[in-house]
Amino acid sequence: MKGIPYTTKWLDFTDVEPEIKKFGLPPNERGALKHTVPTIYDPNTRRAITEAFKINLYLEDQYPDTFSLLPKGTRALQAAFSPTFGKLLDTMLGSVVVSIYNEASERDKPHVRTTREAWFGMKLEDIPPQGERLEETVKLWEELLSDIGNWIDAGEPGALYLGGDAPVQADVDVVSVFLFLFRTAPKDHALLKSLENVSGGRWMKYLEAFSKWTA
Amino acid sequence: MKGIPYTTKWLDFTDVEPEIKKFGLPPNERGALKHTVPTIYDPNTRRAITEAFKINLYLEDQYPDTFSLLPKGTRALQAAFSPTFGKLLDTMLGSVVVSIYNEASERDKPHVRTTREAWFGMKLEDIPPQGERLEETVKLWEELLSDIGNWIDAGEPGALYLGGDAPVQADVDVVSVFLFLFRTAPKDHALLKSLENVSGGRWMKYLEAFSKWTA
């Protein structure tokens, strides 16, 4: 989105920690895992940066003339949005862990099973919500979508994004959850149906607006 | 804060509804009361506007060259902050209702008692939290203050406000809750002590920064 050239190195789950350790990065301050993606290495400055928000701040400082996802005056407000992003992600995560496990490489499968079973406190196969638990999940998901939609509508008239006329990091967070769901959820999953259908399909328009970057 | 000249007409609680009705305003879409303050009347346009956010949007549109509390690109993000403002207000409200009642005029006292007892579902005198309930209230209050402080710190380095270097409406919301607490809470109340002392007194500096407008 900033127009900075890059290449992506995809890693098996199993390789994330040893590969990122090579950059000499200290372990994460928070979270269950010591080293995580996204992590970037910038050959211009020979610096490695980990964690999405820190990467974003680094890119803003290092490449100030590129499109900004953290415009001045929005950074604290965007940080204040992060709990909503966390809730949105947490709400859909349980529905996709089995798909992630099934698509994982054979060497990754034990890692995926062990970490997810520890996080959710249950057997992997029991994590995806069903029946009443699924209904509650869909209800919470739709409430979150409704809140975010209402906030966008309370902003500039006709604006599409939390950032107004242009997307900001908070929008990228939201759209990333949607893309994650599309990429990993079973095709007929209730959360996907709801994302496609609620609020007259506004979230499909939102995704469409991002297609120039996500293609 | 926008430098627009104004006069304030203070109203007894009892007079709010009949006075505001005179402007021909429709009743509020949400909330327990049909007509509320703040409401403004602009003699330049002969228009009356009610509800804080709508007043703010009106003033932005009508007086675009004044200092902005809703800069473009922050409006949706500020709307997303409103649940936090709501939580902050709700957390302190129970602690001040008896003081408000005691300071109310004799003709207002029945109105204050009836509305507050209905909202809280208990006798007025039982509303202010004590003992364990007060401890829980202080804990929630300090968690909210800590979250808001962390969001400000995650923004521009050294910035004081949710809006960065300049306050936005979200900051006014926060500081208004603080001022409301100072104005109405018993002097030695635990919420006041905590506001004065947490995070090395950062919220006193925050209040001090607003003193040029709040004096």
Size of interface A-B (CB pairs under 8 A): 102
Mean of pLDDT over chain A: 94
User: What is the predicted ipTM?
Assistant: 0.90
Q: Of B71, B80, B162, which has the smallest distance from its Cβ to A76's Cβ?
A: B162
pTM of the predicted protein model: 0.92
Q: Does A169 touch chain B (CB under 8 A)?
A: no
Q: What percent of chain A has pLDDT over 90?
A: 87
Q: What is the pLDDT of residues B162-190, one digit of tens each?
A: 999 999 999 999 999 999 999 999 899 99
Establish if A155 touches chain B: CB-CB under 8 angstroms: yes
Q: Which helix (H) or strand (E) holds A48?
A: strand A47-50
**Residue B180 corresponds to which amino acid?**
F
**C-alpha radius of gyration, chain A, whole number:** 18
Burial class (CB in 10 A: 0-12, 13-18, 19+), A73: buried
Contact A74 B77 (CB under 8 A): yes
- Which residue in B53, B75, B148 is closest to A156 by CB distance? B75
Cβ contact (<8 Å) for B165 and A73? Answer: yes
**Cβ contact (<8 Å) for A154 and B79?**
yes
In the prediction, which pLDDT does B194 show? 96
Nearest to B156 among A72, A84, A165 (CB): A72
List the beta strands (DSSP E) in chain B.
Answer: 39-42, 47-50
Tens of pLDDT, residue by residue over B57-111, are 999 999 999 999 999 999 999 999 999 999 999 999 999 999 999 999 999 999 9
Q: Which helix (H) or strand (E) holds A41?
A: strand A39-42
Q: What is the per-residue pLDDT across B146-157, written as a single tens digit (0 to 9) for each?
A: 999 999 999 888
What's the CA gap between A126 and A135, in Å, rounded? 16
Set of chain B residues whose Cβ sits within 8 Å of the Cβ of A159:
75-76
**Identity of the residue numbered A11:** L
pLDDT digit string (tens) for A45-69?
999 999 888 899 999 999 999 999 9
Residue A215 banded pLDDT, cuts 50, 70, 90: confident
Contacts of A88 (CB under 8 A, 6+ apart): A141, A144, A148, A173, A174, A177
